[in-house]
Amino acid sequence: MPGPPETIRSAPGLGGFARPDRAFFDRDTEQVARDLLGLWIVRSSPGTLRIARIVETEAYLGPHDRASHSSRGRTPRNRSMFGPPGHAYVYQIYGLHFCLNVVTEAEGHGSAVLIRAVEPVAGFPGPTNTRGPGLLCRALSIDRTLDGTDLLGEELFVAIPDNPSPFHIVRRPRVGVDYAGAWARRLLRFYIQASTWVSRK
DNA sequence: TTATCGATGGTA
DNA sequence: ACCATCGATAAA
């Protein structure tokens, strides 16, 4: 079956892109976190199309990972983290900011990749700070209404640019999870070494 | 440069 | 009482 006729397949002036399939997300979470680097996150809403390049991610492995929201069990807030892969888990933090995750592995697993920073590519009205999980959600108009959204859909989706530039990946401990004991020291944060759009180096 | 703190509100 | 943040301010 072909996709719906309104499916977005290219970005004017930027060349084309492909779409990952469901299986891309139904893989080892650490691997997905690495493979998301350099890909695009695309936000399309009536009258606007914003494109940003993913430059920083963190892997949250599942209920056994003490830093992961899923380690506290299923709740109304985190239910989409236990949902099918390739969907969004969006939560609010400190009452002020939203954070975007990409759900990974099989339904029920409770793992996801946090998108921590992106580089504006197209469609932003002016200079926009997208260095940080809360800031990028603000820049892309992402809030809890997008929780559970299929990232293979049209509103918010992942794209694979046709001509990606090469990069080196840096591994670091995750940010803001000191409470997680030994899990806080695991190298589950990934970013593009040369990028100036990383939240902190 | 690092350290600290207030904003702000859902969640458990 | 926390908290996968951010921006401002102060100290050094």
**A14-52 pLDDT, tens per residue?**
789 999 999 999 999 999 999 999 999 999 999 999 999
How far apart (Å, rounded) are the C-alpha atoms in residues A31 and A26?
A: 10
Residue range A161-196, pLDDT digits in tens: 999 999 999 999 999 999 999 999 999 999 999 999
User: Which of A199, A176, A60, A34 is closest to A129 using CA atoms?
Assistant: A199
- Tens-digit pLDDT profile for residues A99-134: 999 999 999 999 999 999 999 999 999 999 999 999
With CA of A93 and C1' of each nucleotide, the nearest comes out as C3
Give Cα separations from A21 to A69, A113, A136, A157 (angstroms).
26, 16, 24, 11
Chain B positions with an atom below 7 A of a protein C-beta are: 7-12
**Cα–Cα dist A112/A105, whole Å:** 8
Q: Which domains can be identified in chain A, with CATH numbers?
A: 17-192 (3.10.300.10)
Residues A193, A189: Cα–Cα separation, whole Å: 12
How many C-beta neighbours within 10 Å does residue A127 have? 6
Judge whether residue A65 has pLDDT over 80. Answer: yes
Per-residue pLDDT, A15? 80
User: What is the band of A159 on the pLDDT scale with cuts at 50, 70, 90?
Assistant: very high
Which residues in range 91-120 of chain A are in contact with strand C, contact meaning CB within 7 A of any of its atoms?
93-97, 99, 101, 112, 114
Residue A3 has pLDDT above 60, yes or no: no
